[in-house]
Amino acid sequence: MIGTLISIIFTLIVVGVIWWAITQLLPLIPLPEPISRIIHVVLIVILVLIVLWVIAALLGVAGIPGFHTIRLG
């Protein structure tokens, strides 16, 4: 359980830093508005999928049936 929590914290820190870097650097790239908006939406979808993956991993560690196959690391 402790190993899983450390993996989850590490994953969320890495994802957060990547999210921050992309949101800081994206306005510096001269892109048309539709492409910039598409990139932003794709980033949000990826972030939501990662958060759902982390929640599913927590549920699996907690012993909720149906989530025992999802593993971190």
Domain extents in the chain:
2-62
pLDDT digits (tens, 9 = 90+) for 48-67: 888 888 777 777 777 776 66
Read off the tokens for 4.
């899983």
Q: HSE of 20 in the Cβ direction (CA atoms, 13 Å)? A: 6
CA dist., res. 31 & res. 71, Å (int): 38
Q: Is the whole-model pTM more than 0.75?
A: no
Mean pLDDT throughout 27-45?
88
Dihedral angle computed from the Cα positions of residues 39, 73, 9 and 43, in that order, rounded to the nearest 10 degrees: 10
